[in-house]
Amino acid sequence: MIFVRHAPVHAQGLCYGHFDPPVQMSHEHAAHQVLERLSEPGIQKVLSSPAGRCRGLALILAQRIGVPYAEDERLAELHQGQWEGRLWLDIEQQEPQALARWMKSWEREGPPGGESAQQLADRVRSYLTDHGDTHHLVVGHAGWIRAAWVLLEGLSWQEAMNRTVPHLAPIQLPVYLNL
DSSP for 36-86, please give it: HH-------EEEE-SSHHHHHHHHHHHHHHT--EEE-GGGPPPP-GGGTTS
pLDDT tens readout for residues 118-169? 999 999 999 998 887 678 999 999 999 999 999 999 999 999 999 999 999 9
pLDDT tens readout for residues 159-174? 999 999 999 999 987 7
pTM of structure: 0.91
Say which CATH architecture domain 2-172 belongs to.
3-Layer(aba) Sandwich (3.40)
- For the chain, the structural domain boundaries read 2-172
Q: How many CA atoms lie within 13 A of 45 on its CB side?
A: 13
Q: Is 172 helix (H, G, I), strand (E, B) or coil?
A: strand
Q: Got the DSSP string for 134-154? A: S-EEEEE-HHHHHHHHHHHH-
Do the Cβ atoms of 68 and 45 come closer than 8 Å?
Answer: yes
Burial of 137 (0-12, 13-18, 19+ CB in 10 A): buried
Do the Cβ atoms of 60 and 66 come closer than 8 Å?
Answer: no
CA 142/CA 111 separation, integer angstroms: 18
